[in-house]
A and B are shown apart, each in its own frame.
Chain A
Amino acid sequence: MTPGTSSSLAVQRGLLGGLILILAWEGLARGLALPSYVLPAVSEIIWSIWTSRSLLAEAATYTLAEAVIGYVLGCLIGIGLAVFITMIPVTRMVLLPLATAVNSVPVVAYSPLILLWFGMGIASKIVMVAMAVSFTVFLSTLAGLDRVDRRSVDLMRSFGAGRVGILWRLRLPTALPLMLSGMRVATVRSVIVAIVTEMLGAYGGIGWVIFQAVLKIDFVQVWSAIFVASAASLLFFGLVGLAERKILFWK
Protein backbone atom coordinates (compact mmCIF):
# COMPACT_ATOMS: atom_id res chain seq x y z
CA MET A 1 0.00 0.00 0.00
CA THR A 2 1.46 3.37 -0.95
CA PRO A 3 1.35 6.26 1.51
CA GLY A 4 -1.00 8.09 -0.85
CA THR A 5 -3.80 5.54 -0.66
CA SER A 6 -3.39 5.10 3.09
CA SER A 7 -3.71 8.83 3.73
CA SER A 8 -6.77 9.08 1.48
CA LEU A 9 -8.26 6.18 3.44
CA ALA A 10 -7.51 8.13 6.63
CA VAL A 11 -9.30 11.17 5.20
CA GLN A 12 -12.28 9.00 4.24
CA ARG A 13 -12.43 7.52 7.71
CA GLY A 14 -12.10 10.96 9.25
CA LEU A 15 -15.01 12.23 7.18
CA LEU A 16 -16.98 9.10 8.05
CA GLY A 17 -16.33 9.70 11.75
CA GLY A 18 -17.54 13.29 11.45
CA LEU A 19 -20.60 12.18 9.54
CA ILE A 20 -21.48 9.53 12.13
CA LEU A 21 -21.10 12.09 14.90
CA ILE A 22 -23.39 14.58 13.14
CA LEU A 23 -26.00 11.92 12.33
CA ALA A 24 -25.93 10.52 15.87
CA TRP A 25 -26.21 14.03 17.28
CA GLU A 26 -29.10 14.94 15.00
CA GLY A 27 -30.80 11.59 15.63
CA LEU A 28 -30.41 11.85 19.41
CA ALA A 29 -31.62 15.42 19.59
CA ARG A 30 -34.60 14.85 17.26
CA GLY A 31 -35.40 11.28 18.26
CA LEU A 32 -35.44 11.90 22.00
CA ALA A 33 -36.81 15.42 21.46
CA LEU A 34 -34.11 16.77 23.74
CA PRO A 35 -34.74 20.30 24.98
CA SER A 36 -32.27 22.80 23.49
CA TYR A 37 -30.57 23.42 26.82
CA VAL A 38 -29.48 19.79 26.83
CA LEU A 39 -28.58 19.45 23.16
CA PRO A 40 -30.07 21.27 20.18
CA ALA A 41 -30.08 19.44 16.82
CA VAL A 42 -27.25 20.21 14.42
CA SER A 43 -29.69 21.39 11.74
CA GLU A 44 -31.24 23.78 14.24
CA ILE A 45 -27.80 25.23 15.07
CA ILE A 46 -26.86 25.62 11.41
CA TRP A 47 -30.20 27.32 10.70
CA SER A 48 -29.60 29.68 13.62
CA ILE A 49 -26.11 30.51 12.29
CA TRP A 50 -27.72 31.38 8.95
CA THR A 51 -30.44 33.58 10.41
CA SER A 52 -28.07 35.49 12.71
CA ARG A 53 -25.23 35.53 10.17
CA SER A 54 -24.64 39.27 10.20
CA LEU A 55 -24.35 39.37 14.00
CA LEU A 56 -22.04 36.35 14.09
CA ALA A 57 -19.90 37.55 11.18
CA GLU A 58 -19.43 40.90 12.89
CA ALA A 59 -18.54 39.22 16.18
CA ALA A 60 -16.13 36.82 14.46
CA THR A 61 -14.39 39.69 12.68
CA TYR A 62 -14.04 41.55 15.97
CA THR A 63 -12.59 38.52 17.75
CA LEU A 64 -10.31 37.55 14.86
CA ALA A 65 -8.98 41.11 14.67
CA GLU A 66 -8.08 40.99 18.39
CA ALA A 67 -6.58 37.52 18.03
CA VAL A 68 -4.52 38.33 14.92
CA ILE A 69 -3.14 41.65 16.23
CA GLY A 70 -2.30 40.06 19.58
CA TYR A 71 -0.85 37.06 17.79
CA VAL A 72 1.49 39.12 15.63
CA LEU A 73 2.59 41.21 18.62
CA GLY A 74 3.09 38.08 20.73
CA CYS A 75 5.18 36.38 18.02
CA LEU A 76 7.37 39.47 17.65
CA ILE A 77 7.86 39.75 21.42
CA GLY A 78 8.51 36.03 21.84
CA ILE A 79 11.02 35.78 18.99
CA GLY A 80 12.65 39.09 19.94
CA LEU A 81 13.09 38.04 23.55
CA ALA A 82 14.53 34.64 22.59
CA VAL A 83 17.00 36.27 20.16
CA PHE A 84 17.92 38.88 22.77
CA ILE A 85 18.68 36.20 25.36
CA THR A 86 20.79 34.25 22.87
CA MET A 87 22.73 37.32 21.77
CA ILE A 88 23.42 38.56 25.30
CA PRO A 89 23.72 35.37 27.39
CA VAL A 90 24.04 37.27 30.70
CA THR A 91 20.38 38.30 30.50
CA ARG A 92 19.29 34.66 30.42
CA MET A 93 19.93 34.32 34.15
CA VAL A 94 17.45 37.10 34.89
CA LEU A 95 14.88 36.82 32.13
CA LEU A 96 14.37 33.06 32.07
CA PRO A 97 13.41 32.73 35.77
CA LEU A 98 11.24 35.84 35.45
CA ALA A 99 9.40 34.39 32.45
CA THR A 100 8.96 31.07 34.27
CA ALA A 101 7.61 32.83 37.34
CA VAL A 102 5.09 34.82 35.29
CA ASN A 103 4.07 31.64 33.51
CA SER A 104 3.53 29.66 36.72
CA VAL A 105 0.11 31.32 36.91
CA PRO A 106 -2.25 30.24 34.11
CA VAL A 107 -2.50 33.06 31.56
CA VAL A 108 -6.28 33.38 31.82
CA ALA A 109 -5.97 34.17 35.53
CA TYR A 110 -4.34 37.48 34.57
CA SER A 111 -7.37 38.63 32.63
CA PRO A 112 -9.14 40.40 35.56
CA LEU A 113 -5.97 42.39 36.17
CA ILE A 114 -5.47 43.20 32.48
CA LEU A 115 -9.12 44.26 32.19
CA LEU A 116 -8.67 46.66 35.11
CA TRP A 117 -5.53 48.10 33.54
CA PHE A 118 -6.56 48.36 29.91
CA GLY A 119 -10.32 48.70 30.12
CA MET A 120 -13.11 46.75 28.46
CA GLY A 121 -12.14 47.67 24.90
CA ILE A 122 -10.04 45.87 22.34
CA ALA A 123 -6.71 46.76 24.01
CA SER A 124 -7.11 44.37 26.95
CA LYS A 125 -7.82 41.43 24.62
CA ILE A 126 -4.81 42.20 22.46
CA VAL A 127 -2.59 42.34 25.56
CA MET A 128 -3.96 39.01 26.84
CA VAL A 129 -3.46 37.29 23.47
CA ALA A 130 0.02 38.76 23.11
CA MET A 131 0.92 37.44 26.58
CA ALA A 132 -0.35 33.95 25.87
CA VAL A 133 1.26 33.77 22.42
CA SER A 134 4.60 35.34 23.32
CA PHE A 135 5.36 32.78 26.01
CA THR A 136 4.70 29.78 23.76
CA VAL A 137 6.70 31.31 20.89
CA PHE A 138 9.48 32.43 23.25
CA LEU A 139 10.02 28.93 24.65
CA SER A 140 9.93 27.15 21.29
CA THR A 141 12.22 29.73 19.64
CA LEU A 142 14.68 29.52 22.51
CA ALA A 143 14.70 25.72 22.30
CA GLY A 144 15.33 26.04 18.55
CA LEU A 145 18.13 28.59 18.92
CA ASP A 146 19.82 26.43 21.56
CA ARG A 147 19.74 23.38 19.31
CA VAL A 148 22.58 24.67 17.15
CA ASP A 149 25.60 22.39 16.87
CA ARG A 150 28.55 23.79 18.81
CA ARG A 151 30.95 22.75 16.03
CA SER A 152 29.02 24.65 13.35
CA VAL A 153 29.29 27.80 15.46
CA ASP A 154 33.02 27.25 15.88
CA LEU A 155 33.43 26.66 12.16
CA MET A 156 31.62 29.88 11.26
CA ARG A 157 33.61 31.77 13.85
CA SER A 158 36.85 30.48 12.39
CA PHE A 159 35.77 32.04 9.09
CA GLY A 160 35.37 35.35 10.87
CA ALA A 161 31.57 35.44 11.25
CA GLY A 162 30.31 37.76 13.98
CA ARG A 163 27.46 37.17 16.44
CA VAL A 164 24.93 38.68 14.06
CA GLY A 165 26.22 36.66 11.13
CA ILE A 166 25.99 33.42 13.13
CA LEU A 167 22.49 34.34 14.30
CA TRP A 168 21.21 35.19 10.82
CA ARG A 169 22.87 32.41 8.82
CA LEU A 170 22.99 29.57 11.32
CA ARG A 171 20.89 29.96 14.46
CA LEU A 172 17.67 31.33 12.97
CA PRO A 173 17.47 28.81 10.09
CA THR A 174 18.14 25.98 12.58
CA ALA A 175 15.52 27.33 14.96
CA LEU A 176 12.91 27.85 12.25
CA PRO A 177 11.12 24.46 12.40
CA LEU A 178 10.64 24.59 16.19
CA MET A 179 9.78 28.29 16.10
CA LEU A 180 7.13 27.78 13.42
CA SER A 181 5.58 24.80 15.16
CA GLY A 182 5.31 26.92 18.30
CA MET A 183 3.64 29.63 16.24
CA ARG A 184 1.20 27.10 14.78
CA VAL A 185 0.20 25.82 18.23
CA ALA A 186 -0.25 29.42 19.40
CA THR A 187 -2.94 30.19 16.79
CA VAL A 188 -5.71 28.21 18.46
CA ARG A 189 -4.61 29.55 21.83
CA SER A 190 -4.85 33.14 20.59
CA VAL A 191 -8.50 32.82 19.53
CA ILE A 192 -9.44 31.01 22.75
CA VAL A 193 -7.75 33.59 24.98
CA ALA A 194 -9.44 36.44 23.09
CA ILE A 195 -12.84 34.81 23.63
CA VAL A 196 -12.19 34.05 27.30
CA THR A 197 -11.21 37.67 27.95
CA GLU A 198 -14.23 38.95 26.05
CA MET A 199 -16.51 37.02 28.36
CA LEU A 200 -15.30 38.91 31.41
CA GLY A 201 -16.03 42.26 29.81
CA ALA A 202 -16.20 43.54 26.24
CA TYR A 203 -18.21 45.59 23.76
CA GLY A 204 -18.34 42.92 21.07
CA GLY A 205 -16.93 39.65 19.78
CA ILE A 206 -17.75 35.95 19.98
CA GLY A 207 -17.13 35.79 23.72
CA TRP A 208 -19.54 38.67 24.25
CA VAL A 209 -22.16 36.94 22.07
CA ILE A 210 -21.77 33.74 24.10
CA PHE A 211 -22.09 35.64 27.36
CA GLN A 212 -25.23 37.45 26.18
CA ALA A 213 -26.71 34.18 24.96
CA VAL A 214 -26.02 32.50 28.31
CA LEU A 215 -27.77 35.39 30.09
CA LYS A 216 -30.76 35.05 27.75
CA ILE A 217 -30.65 31.26 28.17
CA ASP A 218 -30.57 31.01 24.38
CA PHE A 219 -28.60 27.81 24.02
CA VAL A 220 -28.97 27.46 20.29
CA GLN A 221 -27.17 30.79 20.06
CA VAL A 222 -24.39 29.53 22.38
CA TRP A 223 -23.90 26.55 20.13
CA SER A 224 -23.87 28.62 16.95
CA ALA A 225 -21.27 30.94 18.48
CA ILE A 226 -19.22 27.85 19.41
CA PHE A 227 -19.43 26.56 15.84
CA VAL A 228 -18.34 29.92 14.42
CA ALA A 229 -15.49 30.26 16.94
CA SER A 230 -14.30 26.76 16.15
CA ALA A 231 -14.40 27.44 12.41
CA ALA A 232 -12.49 30.71 12.89
CA SER A 233 -9.78 28.92 14.93
CA LEU A 234 -9.45 26.18 12.32
CA LEU A 235 -9.17 28.76 9.54
CA PHE A 236 -6.44 30.66 11.36
CA PHE A 237 -4.65 27.40 12.22
CA GLY A 238 -4.89 26.23 8.61
CA LEU A 239 -3.51 29.49 7.20
CA VAL A 240 -0.52 29.52 9.56
CA GLY A 241 0.07 25.81 8.88
CA LEU A 242 0.04 26.54 5.14
CA ALA A 243 2.52 29.40 5.57
CA GLU A 244 4.70 27.08 7.65
CA ARG A 245 4.84 24.49 4.86
CA LYS A 246 5.67 27.21 2.31
CA ILE A 247 8.53 28.56 4.42
CA LEU A 248 9.94 25.15 5.36
CA PHE A 249 10.01 23.99 1.75
CA TRP A 250 12.92 21.62 2.42
CA LYS A 251 10.94 19.52 4.92
Chain B
Amino acid sequence: MAAPKAGSAARAQWMARAGGLGRLVLGLAIAALVWEGSVLLFGIRPHYLPKLSTILQAIATTPKPYVDGFLRTLAETLIGFVAGGAFGIAMGIVFFRVRALREMVFPIFIVSQTIPVIAFGALVVLWFGNTLLAKAVIAFYLTFFPVAVNTLLGLESVDRQQVALMRSFGASRWQLLARLQFPTALPHIFVALRLASSLSLVGAIVGEWFGDTTGLGVLLLQAMYNENVVSIWATLLVSALLGTGFYAVVAAAERRLVFWGAEQ
Protein backbone atom coordinates (compact mmCIF):
# COMPACT_ATOMS: atom_id res chain seq x y z
CA MET B 1 0.00 0.00 0.00
CA ALA B 2 3.01 2.25 -0.26
CA ALA B 3 2.29 3.57 -3.74
CA PRO B 4 -1.08 5.27 -3.12
CA LYS B 5 0.25 6.73 0.11
CA ALA B 6 3.20 8.24 -1.71
CA GLY B 7 0.75 9.46 -4.36
CA SER B 8 -1.42 11.19 -1.84
CA ALA B 9 1.62 12.73 -0.16
CA ALA B 10 2.78 14.09 -3.49
CA ARG B 11 -0.71 15.39 -4.11
CA ALA B 12 -0.82 17.10 -0.73
CA GLN B 13 2.53 18.68 -1.50
CA TRP B 14 1.26 19.81 -4.89
CA MET B 15 -1.88 21.23 -3.29
CA ALA B 16 0.22 23.10 -0.73
CA ARG B 17 2.35 24.50 -3.50
CA ALA B 18 -0.70 25.54 -5.55
CA GLY B 19 -2.13 27.15 -2.40
CA GLY B 20 1.09 29.08 -1.87
CA LEU B 21 1.04 30.21 -5.49
CA GLY B 22 -2.59 31.26 -5.13
CA ARG B 23 -1.78 33.34 -2.07
CA LEU B 24 1.13 34.93 -3.90
CA VAL B 25 -1.07 35.89 -6.86
CA LEU B 26 -3.74 37.19 -4.51
CA GLY B 27 -1.18 39.25 -2.55
CA LEU B 28 0.19 40.74 -5.77
CA ALA B 29 -3.31 41.58 -6.99
CA ILE B 30 -4.13 43.33 -3.71
CA ALA B 31 -0.84 45.25 -3.81
CA ALA B 32 -1.55 46.35 -7.40
CA LEU B 33 -5.05 47.51 -6.46
CA VAL B 34 -3.78 49.42 -3.40
CA TRP B 35 -1.09 51.10 -5.54
CA GLU B 36 -3.47 52.12 -8.30
CA GLY B 37 -6.18 53.13 -5.83
CA SER B 38 -4.03 55.23 -3.55
CA VAL B 39 -2.47 57.15 -6.44
CA LEU B 40 -5.97 58.01 -7.68
CA LEU B 41 -7.42 58.58 -4.22
CA PHE B 42 -4.69 60.77 -2.72
CA GLY B 43 -3.86 62.44 -6.01
CA ILE B 44 -0.15 61.59 -5.76
CA ARG B 45 1.76 63.48 -8.42
CA PRO B 46 3.30 61.28 -11.12
CA HIS B 47 6.63 62.95 -10.28
CA TYR B 48 6.64 60.85 -7.10
CA LEU B 49 4.59 57.79 -7.88
CA PRO B 50 2.92 57.20 -11.24
CA LYS B 51 -0.05 54.88 -11.56
CA LEU B 52 0.89 51.19 -11.83
CA SER B 53 -1.11 50.96 -15.07
CA THR B 54 0.95 53.80 -16.59
CA ILE B 55 4.16 52.00 -15.68
CA LEU B 56 3.00 48.65 -17.04
CA GLN B 57 1.84 50.39 -20.21
CA ALA B 58 5.28 51.94 -20.61
CA ILE B 59 6.85 48.49 -20.39
CA ALA B 60 4.28 47.01 -22.78
CA THR B 61 4.76 49.66 -25.47
CA THR B 62 8.57 49.39 -25.56
CA PRO B 63 9.42 46.04 -24.02
CA LYS B 64 12.73 45.59 -25.82
CA PRO B 65 15.06 47.68 -23.59
CA TYR B 66 13.54 46.14 -20.48
CA VAL B 67 13.84 42.56 -21.76
CA ASP B 68 17.39 43.15 -23.02
CA GLY B 69 18.33 44.90 -19.79
CA PHE B 70 16.84 42.09 -17.75
CA LEU B 71 18.79 39.42 -19.63
CA ARG B 72 22.06 41.35 -19.59
CA THR B 73 21.88 42.15 -15.88
CA LEU B 74 20.78 38.58 -15.16
CA ALA B 75 23.88 37.25 -16.94
CA GLU B 76 26.20 39.57 -14.97
CA THR B 77 24.48 38.71 -11.70
CA LEU B 78 24.61 34.96 -12.33
CA ILE B 79 28.28 34.85 -13.33
CA GLY B 80 29.27 36.99 -10.33
CA PHE B 81 27.11 34.95 -7.99
CA VAL B 82 28.41 31.56 -9.13
CA ALA B 83 32.06 32.68 -9.10
CA GLY B 84 31.68 34.48 -5.75
CA GLY B 85 29.82 31.56 -4.18
CA ALA B 86 32.40 29.01 -5.35
CA PHE B 87 35.34 31.18 -4.29
CA GLY B 88 33.70 31.95 -0.95
CA ILE B 89 33.08 28.27 -0.16
CA ALA B 90 36.63 27.35 -1.22
CA MET B 91 38.12 30.13 0.94
CA GLY B 92 35.94 29.06 3.87
CA ILE B 93 37.29 25.50 3.59
CA VAL B 94 40.90 26.69 3.23
CA PHE B 95 40.55 29.02 6.24
CA PHE B 96 39.04 26.16 8.21
CA ARG B 97 41.97 23.88 7.42
CA VAL B 98 44.85 26.37 7.70
CA ARG B 99 44.42 28.51 10.78
CA ALA B 100 47.55 30.60 10.20
CA LEU B 101 46.36 31.54 6.71
CA ARG B 102 42.99 32.53 8.07
CA GLU B 103 44.50 34.84 10.65
CA MET B 104 46.70 36.43 8.01
CA VAL B 105 44.17 36.86 5.22
CA PHE B 106 40.88 37.32 7.02
CA PRO B 107 41.57 40.87 8.30
CA ILE B 108 42.46 41.87 4.73
CA PHE B 109 39.12 40.46 3.54
CA ILE B 110 37.32 42.49 6.18
CA VAL B 111 39.07 45.71 5.19
CA SER B 112 38.34 44.94 1.53
CA GLN B 113 34.64 45.00 2.35
CA THR B 114 34.79 48.59 3.59
CA ILE B 115 35.93 49.78 0.16
CA PRO B 116 32.94 51.46 -1.44
CA VAL B 117 31.79 49.17 -4.23
CA ILE B 118 31.58 52.04 -6.66
CA ALA B 119 35.22 53.03 -6.14
CA PHE B 120 36.25 49.45 -6.63
CA GLY B 121 33.97 49.42 -9.67
CA ALA B 122 35.85 52.35 -11.17
CA LEU B 123 39.08 50.37 -10.98
CA VAL B 124 37.54 47.14 -12.29
CA VAL B 125 35.98 48.89 -15.26
CA LEU B 126 39.38 50.38 -15.96
CA TRP B 127 41.09 47.01 -15.75
CA PHE B 128 38.57 44.96 -17.72
CA GLY B 129 36.92 47.63 -19.85
CA ASN B 130 33.19 48.16 -20.12
CA THR B 131 32.55 44.48 -20.53
CA LEU B 132 30.16 41.95 -19.09
CA LEU B 133 33.16 40.52 -17.24
CA ALA B 134 33.80 43.78 -15.37
CA LYS B 135 30.26 43.81 -13.95
CA ALA B 136 30.51 40.15 -13.03
CA VAL B 137 33.77 40.88 -11.17
CA ILE B 138 32.03 43.61 -9.17
CA ALA B 139 29.17 41.22 -8.34
CA PHE B 140 31.78 38.62 -7.38
CA TYR B 141 33.52 41.06 -5.06
CA LEU B 142 30.29 41.74 -3.16
CA THR B 143 29.35 38.06 -2.99
CA PHE B 144 32.37 36.09 -1.88
CA PHE B 145 32.85 37.55 1.60
CA PRO B 146 29.57 36.60 3.32
CA VAL B 147 29.80 33.13 1.77
CA ALA B 148 33.37 32.63 3.05
CA VAL B 149 32.41 33.81 6.55
CA ASN B 150 29.39 31.54 6.80
CA THR B 151 31.19 28.54 5.34
CA LEU B 152 33.83 28.92 8.01
CA LEU B 153 31.20 29.35 10.74
CA GLY B 154 29.33 26.29 9.51
CA LEU B 155 32.43 24.09 9.32
CA GLU B 156 33.37 25.12 12.84
CA SER B 157 29.96 24.24 14.22
CA VAL B 158 30.58 20.53 13.59
CA ASP B 159 30.31 18.38 16.69
CA ARG B 160 33.75 17.17 17.83
CA GLN B 161 32.38 13.84 18.98
CA GLN B 162 31.04 13.11 15.51
CA VAL B 163 34.44 13.89 14.05
CA ALA B 164 36.09 11.60 16.57
CA LEU B 165 33.60 8.85 15.75
CA MET B 166 34.23 9.04 12.02
CA ARG B 167 37.99 9.14 12.61
CA SER B 168 37.74 6.00 14.70
CA PHE B 169 36.19 4.27 11.68
CA GLY B 170 39.22 5.30 9.67
CA ALA B 171 37.65 8.17 7.67
CA SER B 172 40.17 10.24 5.74
CA ARG B 173 40.23 14.03 5.95
CA TRP B 174 38.54 14.22 2.57
CA GLN B 175 35.78 11.81 3.61
CA LEU B 176 35.34 13.74 6.84
CA LEU B 177 34.84 16.91 4.86
CA ALA B 178 32.51 15.46 2.23
CA ARG B 179 30.36 13.31 4.51
CA LEU B 180 30.22 15.27 7.75
CA GLN B 181 31.64 18.77 7.82
CA PHE B 182 30.33 20.11 4.52
CA PRO B 183 26.75 18.81 5.00
CA THR B 184 26.74 20.31 8.52
CA ALA B 185 27.89 23.64 7.11
CA LEU B 186 25.37 23.63 4.26
CA PRO B 187 22.51 25.40 6.10
CA HIS B 188 24.91 28.21 7.10
CA ILE B 189 26.24 28.42 3.56
CA PHE B 190 22.75 28.80 2.17
CA VAL B 191 21.93 31.67 4.52
CA ALA B 192 24.91 33.49 3.00
CA LEU B 193 23.98 32.46 -0.55
CA ARG B 194 20.52 33.96 -0.14
CA LEU B 195 22.11 37.23 1.01
CA ALA B 196 24.63 36.98 -1.83
CA SER B 197 21.84 36.63 -4.41
CA SER B 198 20.70 40.19 -3.61
CA LEU B 199 24.24 41.53 -3.28
CA SER B 200 25.31 40.22 -6.69
CA LEU B 201 22.39 42.10 -8.26
CA VAL B 202 23.58 45.30 -6.54
CA GLY B 203 27.06 44.72 -7.97
CA ALA B 204 25.73 44.22 -11.49
CA ILE B 205 23.50 47.32 -11.42
CA VAL B 206 26.16 49.59 -9.92
CA GLY B 207 28.74 48.24 -12.36
CA GLU B 208 26.57 49.34 -15.26
CA TRP B 209 26.62 52.95 -14.06
CA PHE B 210 30.13 53.33 -15.42
CA GLY B 211 28.77 53.40 -18.90
CA ASP B 212 27.32 50.65 -21.02
CA THR B 213 24.55 50.36 -23.53
CA THR B 214 22.27 47.66 -22.11
CA GLY B 215 21.30 46.64 -18.61
CA LEU B 216 18.93 47.67 -15.86
CA GLY B 217 21.52 50.01 -14.31
CA VAL B 218 21.88 51.78 -17.67
CA LEU B 219 18.10 52.18 -17.93
CA LEU B 220 17.99 53.70 -14.43
CA LEU B 221 20.71 56.18 -15.25
CA GLN B 222 19.21 57.18 -18.62
CA ALA B 223 15.81 57.65 -17.00
CA MET B 224 17.36 59.85 -14.32
CA TYR B 225 19.07 62.09 -16.89
CA ASN B 226 15.81 62.37 -18.81
CA GLU B 227 13.89 62.93 -15.56
CA ASN B 228 11.58 60.14 -16.70
CA VAL B 229 10.04 58.92 -13.45
CA VAL B 230 7.80 56.38 -15.18
CA SER B 231 10.82 54.71 -16.72
CA ILE B 232 12.67 54.67 -13.36
CA TRP B 233 9.71 52.95 -11.72
CA ALA B 234 9.41 50.52 -14.61
CA THR B 235 13.08 49.59 -14.24
CA LEU B 236 12.66 49.28 -10.47
CA LEU B 237 9.78 46.84 -11.05
CA VAL B 238 11.87 44.78 -13.47
CA SER B 239 14.77 44.80 -10.96
CA ALA B 240 12.39 43.64 -8.24
CA LEU B 241 11.25 40.82 -10.51
CA LEU B 242 14.85 39.80 -11.17
CA GLY B 243 15.87 40.10 -7.51
CA THR B 244 12.91 38.20 -6.08
CA GLY B 245 13.02 35.56 -8.80
CA PHE B 246 16.70 34.87 -8.22
CA TYR B 247 16.20 34.81 -4.45
CA ALA B 248 13.32 32.36 -4.85
CA VAL B 249 15.46 30.04 -6.99
CA VAL B 250 18.24 30.03 -4.39
CA ALA B 251 15.70 29.44 -1.60
CA ALA B 252 14.16 26.56 -3.61
CA ALA B 253 17.60 25.01 -4.11
CA GLU B 254 18.11 25.33 -0.36
CA ARG B 255 14.89 23.45 0.41
CA ARG B 256 15.96 20.75 -2.02
CA LEU B 257 19.53 20.31 -0.77
CA VAL B 258 19.02 21.02 2.93
CA PHE B 259 15.94 18.82 3.10
CA TRP B 260 16.51 18.10 6.80
CA GLY B 261 15.54 21.64 7.74
CA ALA B 262 16.88 25.03 6.79
CA GLU B 263 18.27 27.45 9.29
CA GLN B 264 16.55 30.81 9.33
CA distance A210 to B117 in the complex (A): 12
Residue of A nearest to B245 (CB): A104
Q: A116 to B114, Cβ gap below 8 A?
A: no
On whether the beta carbons of A18 and B202 are closer than 8 Å, the reply is no
Residue of B nearest to A198 (CB): B118
Which residues of chain A have C-beta atoms less than 8 A from B103's C-beta? 9-10, 13-14, 17
* Cβ-closest chain B residue relative to A19: B104
Whether a CB of chain A sits under 8 angstroms from the CB of B108 is: yes
Partner of B111 from A104, A219, A234 at Cβ < 8 Å: A234
Q: Which of B125-161 contact A (CB under 8 A)?
A: 126-127
Chain B interface extent, by class: 35 or more
> Are A116 and B227 also in contact (CB < 8 A) when A188-B113, A226-B115 are?
yes
A229 to B217, CA, bound (A): 24
A203 interface hit (Cβ, 8 Å): no
User: Which of A17, A106, A237 is packed against the most chain B CB atoms within 10 Å?
Assistant: A106
With A and B bound together, what is the CA distance between A18 and B224 in angstroms? 41
Q: With CB as the reference atom, state the residue of chain B lying closest to A117.
A: B48
Chain B, residue nearest A194 (CB): B116
Does B183 sit within 8 A of A, measured CB to CB?
Answer: no
B83 at the interface (CB under 8 A from A): no
- Distance (whole angstroms) from the CB of B81 to the closest CB of chain A: 13
**Alpha-carbon gap, A107 to B142, bound state (A):** 14
Q: Please state if A38 and B127 are interface contacts (CB–CB under 8 Å).
A: yes
On chain B, the residues within 8 Å of A195 by CB distance are 116, 118-119
Give, as a whole number of angstroms, the nearest-CB distance from A227 to chain B: 9
Bitwise interface map of B from 187 to 228 toward A, beta carbon under 8 Å scored 1, else 0: 000000000001001100110010000001100110110010
- One of B108, B113, B229, B239 near A105 (C-beta < 8 A): B239
User: Using Cβ atoms and an 8 Å threshold, which residues of chain B touch A229?
Assistant: 114-116, 119
A214 at the interface (CB under 8 A from B): yes
How long is the Cα–Cα vector from A18 to B216 in the complex, in angstroms?
A: 37
Min C-beta distance of A121 to chain B, whole Å: 16
B interface, by DSSP: helix, strand, loop or mixed? helix
User: Chain B residues with Cβ under 8 A from A97's Cβ?
Assistant: 27, 31
Q: CB-CB < 8 A to B47: which residues of A? A: 116-117
B113: chain A residues at CB < 8 Å are: 188
> A129 to chain B: closest CB distance in Å?
13
A155 interface residue per 8 A CB criterion = no
How far is the CB of A149 from the nearest CB of chain B, in Å? 18
Chain B residue numbers with a CB within 8 Å of A105 are 236, 239-240, 243
8 Å CB contacts to A: which residues of B44-67?
A: 47-48
Instruction: List chain B residues, Cβ under 8 A from A13.
Output: 100, 103-104
Candidates B116, B236, B244; contact of A206 at CB < 8 Å: B116
Whether a CB of chain B sits under 8 angstroms from the CB of A200 is yes
Residues of A within 8 A of B107 (CB): 14, 17-18
Q: Would you call B251 an interface residue if the criterion is a C-beta within 8 Å of the partner chain's C-beta atoms?
A: no
Quick check: A17 and B116 within 8 Å, CB to CB?
no
The interface residues of chain A lying within 8 Å CB-to-CB of B229 are 113, 116
Contacts of B108 in A (CB 8 A): 17-18, 21
B10 in contact (CB, < 8 A): no
Whether the Cβ atoms of B205 and A230 lie closer than 8 Å is: no
Task: Please tell me if A37 contacts chain B, counting CB pairs below 8 Å.
Answer: yes
Say which residue of A16, A109, A192, A214 sits within 8 Å of B239 (CB atoms).
Answer: A109
The residues of A with any CB-CB pair to B shorter than 8 Å are 9-10, 13-14, 16-18, 20-21, 37-38, 97, 101, 104-110, 112-113, 115-117, 188, 191-192, 195-196, 199-200, 206-207, 210, 214, 219, 222-223, 225-226, 229-230, 233-234, 237
Knowing that A17-B106, A192-B117 are A-B contacts, what are 16 other residue pairs whose CB atoms are under 8 Å apart, sorted by A's residue number?
Answer: A14-B104, A17-B107, A18-B107, A104-B243, A105-B236, A106-B239, A108-B202, A109-B217, A109-B220, A109-B236, A113-B233, A115-B224, A192-B114, A226-B115, A229-B115, A233-B114
B-side residues, CB < 8 A to A, are 27, 31, 47-48, 100, 103-108, 111, 113-120, 122-123, 126-127, 198, 201-202, 205-206, 209, 216-217, 220-221, 223-224, 227, 229, 232-233, 235-236, 239-240, 243-244, 247
**Closest 5 CB pairs between A and B?**
A17-B104, A112-B224, A13-B103, A233-B114, A195-B116
